[in-house]
Amino acid sequence: MMRMQRLARKELLAAFCFLAPSLAGFLLFYMIPYGASILYSFQDGLGGAGWTGSNYKALLHSASFRKAAANSLRFTAISVPVLVVLSLALALLLNQRVLFRNWLRTAYVLPLVVPVASIVLVWQILFDWNGAMNVMMNAFGWGRIDWMKSDWAGYVVVLIYVWKNIGYNVVLFLAGLQNIPAQYYEIADLEGAGVGRKFFGITLMYLTPTMFLVVLMSILNSFKVFRETFLVAGEYPHDKIYMLQHYMNNMFLSLDIQKLSAAAAMMSVCIVALVLVLFRTEKTFRSFME
């Protein structure tokens, strides 16, 4: 018994030694700066001149912040369901015996390994005033559209987001689909179950954990679309795609660290709230199905 305890302590110590560099980096570059930003959000100045909640009040009364927050939430509410539905549909297709299945799987994963700058360059070529889309529209006798300076900008960003992230979700859904025992579908066929019954009664049932992970990752990635939007439309994009990260970037450029920290804190609280709602929803769904 003592020997087993000593062995367990040695394994725990070895595990901690391996994890120590990562933990130190996480604390140094993530937790400590985040804690400092929380402190800054309650200060009047960086020197700690006073403690106040006026930064949060100023944000809530700021038209720019409200617009950025509304656009970010609207983008997440639109893009995440579209991404999840398309990812699931493609995974179901690629899970079947279709022509060039392996080539198609590779094609959907390629955006994950392409640098963001290269991706944005392609989309700039497509949606620029003299880009490929306007050239094709001119060929059909339609007028040109300034895609990134009109209401179409939101749809363009959704399209970029879906194209960039769909491959990762397809891989996750494929892994979940291949873990569903084939005999369940065979039994359903013997009992005369239709396609819809098998989809809702078997496929979605056993894809619940995967679905939760895909939705969670899609929500987190939707808050990181600033890179693509910034490179395509610049620091001050169209009102439809002015996101929270744009607001925080502008606060950083004006050295308003207190409002920047307050905005980051409110954004993190919203993300945590969404994650907790997802966890609660999944737990409720599992208990209901059991």
Q: What's the pTM value of the predicted model, to 2 decimals?
A: 0.80
- In sequence order, the β-bridge partners of residue 51 are 43
- Per-residue pLDDT band for 85 (boundaries 50, 70, 90) equals very high
Tell me the CB-side half-sphere exposure of residue 199, using CA atoms within 13 A: 6
Structure token digits, residue 169 = 């979700």
The pLDDT tens digits of the residues spanning 221-256 come to 888 887 778 777 777 777 788 888 888 888 888 777
Lowest-confidence segment of 57-71, 79-93, 132-146 by average pLDDT: 132-146
Set out the domains of the chain in order of their start, with CATH numbers.
62-289 (1.10.3720.10)
Mean of all residue pLDDT scores within the chain: 80
190 sits in which H/E element: helix 182-190
- Give how far the C-alpha of residue 39 lies from the chain's centroid of Cα atoms, to the nearest Å: 27
- pLDDT, tens digit, 9 for 90 and up, residues 115-166: 777 777 777 778 777 778 888 888 777 877 777 777 788 888 888 888 888 8
